[in-house]
């Protein structure tokens, strides 16, 4: 039996330092190839306090998981909500995404608070919608023809909006009613497609199937970037999770708990 040769595993370089290394080749001749350097994790007190604890992402979106990994939240429990999103499309886009994300967070929090896996330290939920200039909430395309028409419509209009609601929940150590802290935000980004997008380019994109499972029919973080001329607002909001507002919510729910614990301790001292 012939020997099977395996390529050696790539080496992951340590994070870069601020010292100049321009004169030192990173890969000398004959050395194994290396993966790109990974940055050190964000050392924010709120993020550090939940690392190693049970953090639930109430979404099956791989894009949201990737975005959270960028801020150092890599060890997530992914538990998507299975409750139908049945809110009427007659709601404003702001109210629609907020109510949908809140329902996801509340459903997963309620189902996991007494879980054998342990009480979650944090639950993060989000919902994103693409809205036409006429205020219509766009769903995922239902067919190739519908997909093409959707993208042509977005090309032929002035601009469209993307709204993402983020809801973060955490249990309260103080056990004060209702027993949890909840904070939310809704972020808005304006997206403008290129006016010079040809029908052939749109058809070619549709046939990649990248946008087949996405509201609005495109993914700005992938091949769909070729459709976009410019945006006003957060890029990661269009992807599905605005990171800076999400960090602010995490800090706020954890601070809410600290504030209530301090308040409860003061009341006990007075008694």
Task: Give catalytic residues, as residue numbers.
Answer: 127
Q: Which two tokens stand for residue 129?
A: 């919608």
Asked if 118 contacts 69 with a C-beta cutoff of 8 angstroms, the reply is: no
Paired strand residues for 76: 55
Asked if 73 contacts 46 with a C-beta cutoff of 8 angstroms, the reply is: no
CA angle 243, 249, 255 (to 5 degrees): 140
Burial (CB < 10 A; 0-12, 13-18, 19+), residue 265, is exposed
């Amino acid at each position: 039996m012939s020997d099977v040769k395996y390529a050696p595993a790539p080496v992951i370089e340590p994070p870069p330092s601020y010292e100049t290394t321009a004169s030192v080749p990173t890969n000398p001749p004959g050395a194994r190839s290396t993966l790109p350097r990974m940055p050190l994790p964000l050392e924010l007190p709120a993020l550090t306090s939940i690392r190693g604890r049970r953090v639930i992402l109430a979404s099956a979106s791989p894009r949201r998981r990737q975005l959270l990994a960028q801020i150092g939240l890599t060890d997530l429990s992914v538990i998507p909500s299975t409750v139908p999103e049945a809110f009427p499309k007659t709601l404003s886009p702001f109210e629609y995404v907020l109510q949908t994300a809140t329902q996801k967070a509340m459903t997963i929090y309620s189902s996991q608070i007494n879980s054998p896996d342990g009480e979650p330290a944090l639950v993060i939920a989000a919902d994103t919608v693409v809205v036409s200039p006429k205020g219509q909430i766009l769903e995922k395309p239902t067919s190739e023809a519908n997909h093409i028409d959707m993208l042509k419509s977005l090309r032929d209009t002035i601009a469209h909006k993307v709204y993402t609601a983020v809801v973060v929940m955490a249990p309260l150590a103080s056990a004060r009613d209702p027993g949890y802290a909840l904070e939310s935000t809704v972020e808005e980004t304006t997206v403008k497609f290129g006016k010079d997008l040809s029908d052939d380019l749109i058809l070619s994109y549709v046939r990649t199937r990248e946008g087949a499972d996405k509201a609005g029919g495109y993914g700005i973080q992938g091949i769909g970037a070729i459709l976009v001329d410019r945006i006003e607002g957060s890029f990661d909001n269009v992807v599905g999770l605005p990171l800076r507002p999400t960090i602010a919510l995490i800090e706020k729910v954890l601070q809410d708990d600290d504030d209530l614990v301090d308040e409860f301790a003061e009341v006990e001292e007075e008694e």
